[in-house]
Structure 1
Amino acid sequence: MNDYPYDLILFDLDGTLIETAPEIADAVNDTLTRLGHAPVTQKEVDDWIGYGTRELLIKALAKVLGTTTEQVRQAEAFPAIEAEFGQHYQRRCGTRSHLYPHVRETLQALRAAGIKLVVMTNKEGRYTQTVLDAHQLAPLFDRVISGDTLSVKKPNPAGIADCLQRFGVAPERALFVGDSSIDVATARNGGIAVWALPYGYNMGEPIESCQPDRVIPDFSVLTTPLPDRVAAAPV
């Protein structure tokens, strides 16, 4: 066991590792424009982030059509619309997103210290990989769990259980880092600690309202318990 308090850290993606909302909004509005609808706002997209890109698109369509999300989900035309959105989003990935402060160097330092690192997101796998590749983050993670990797997604804790078993880590030695009430609920359901960042997407609510174990200002806090020689090591 190392001196660091955790052997496994799971991270949300959108709003935690990477600011992705602007290019998600671009892809949504590319799709809506092609369909002859007015665009949605950036604030609306920010508040819809959390349950996966598919659900976000459904909410956007329900808004512009003045209908329910269930009606959109059951619509015969929806699969074709979703496929078109996918083309727009793949093209937009990496165009207006960026890493949050201290993300890359923190992940590098944690990995150098031997801590297992996992992405656990509700974003569909094809988009998760594209976003990680756009920012050269994929090699820093030991496992990536997307919204369609398992049969369930956050806040179901199956991804946490999978990683605890896979890496042989006790729950008290694992941490979840996220930006939303979904992430906090996932960690609570999985029986592990959760730290939250205040700058992401929490459906318009302050992150403090969901009572994570700790609210941290940015990623640099994660390296504080590391030995100086590891935290400062070039990678």
Structure 2
Amino acid sequence: MQYKAVIFDLDGTLLNTLDDLADSANRALAARGFPTYTVDEYKYFIGDGAEMLVRRALPEGARDDAAVFGVLDAFKEDYSRNWNVKTRIYEGVNDLLSAVEGLGVRKAILSNKPHEYTLLCVEEYFAPGTFEMVLGMRPEVPKKPDPAGAFEIVQSLSLKPEECVFLGDSSTDIHTAKNANMLAVGALWGFRTADELTQAGAQVEIRTPMELMNHLKR
């Protein structure tokens, strides 16, 4: 028996967005006199939405609302102009998407990136119709690892959660999959470590996108 849908995380799973996120965040921090970080350090700030990225990046003693929302507004403004400077599709992702399509397995995206930027990224980097449903973070819906967005997708596709695979690169994605009763697959090419994915309870871990094809049969 075959799974009927794959739900993908976006940042760190389909797209390497790290450099553009880091550059915009560093510019926003520096403009307000706060320390900046290396691109690799941002791997541990990303994954739980823009506000959490800023909170993690600010010094511990400077996380009052005025500082957080000041930097957040500057980050959003900068990122709106620079979101596609260095961003790229991970090697092997397009091959995987074509192979999944060939099996007749449906595809969707669930991201903690703000919804408008999630849509922009998908429109820029993927062919129209590649994904049946694309959801970013919206104020009215709890963000991952809450399963609300995942349940919204499966209901829209008229599927059951257990018929779906969830592929992501962070503990947030693995917890989302488990909370939604989906197969939790960890992407080892993304922003986080194998240890994090294992500890979160990933049922499968894959080193290259095409390896997912080995796990679409149940």
- With normalisation by structure 2, the TM-score equals 0.88
* Larger mean Cα displacement after TM superposition, 24-33 or 130-139: 130-139
How far apart, CA to CA, are the structure 2 residues paired with 1:92 and 1:203? 27
How far apart, CA to CA, are the structure 1 residues paired with 2:174 and 2:28? 32
Aligned length, in residue pairs: 216
Matched, 1:167 2:191: no
CA contact (8 A) 2:171 2:196 kept: no
CA contact (8 A) 1:152 1:158 kept: yes
3-state SS of paired residue (2:112): coil
Matched, 1:115 2:105: yes
| Pairing partner for 1:56 from 53, 67, 79 | 53
Residue 209 of structure 2 corresponds to: 219
* Structure 1 moving runs of 4+ over 6 Å: none
How far apart, CA to CA, are the structure 1 residues paired with 2:51 and 2:117? 11
- Larger Cα Rg: Structure 1 or Structure 2? 1
CA contact (8 A) 2:51 2:68 kept: no
| Pairing partner for 2:33 from 31, 36, 48 | 36
CA contact (8 A) 1:125 1:149 kept: no
Residue 96 of structure 1 corresponds to: 86
Cα 1:28–1:204 change in 2 (3 A) is farther
Residue 23 of structure 2 corresponds to: 26
Q: Which has the higher strand share?
A: 2
- Return the offset for 1:105: 2.2
CA RMSD of superposed structures (Å): 2.3
Residue 67 of structure 1 corresponds to: 61
Matched, 1:46 2:40: no
- Return the offset for 1:134: 3.1
CA contact (8 A) 2:26 2:36 kept: yes
Query: Counterpart of 2:61 in structure 1: which amino acid?
Result: T
How far apart, CA to CA, are the structure 1 residues paired with 2:131 and 2:6? 10
* Larger mean Cα displacement after TM superposition, 93-102 or 103-112: 103-112
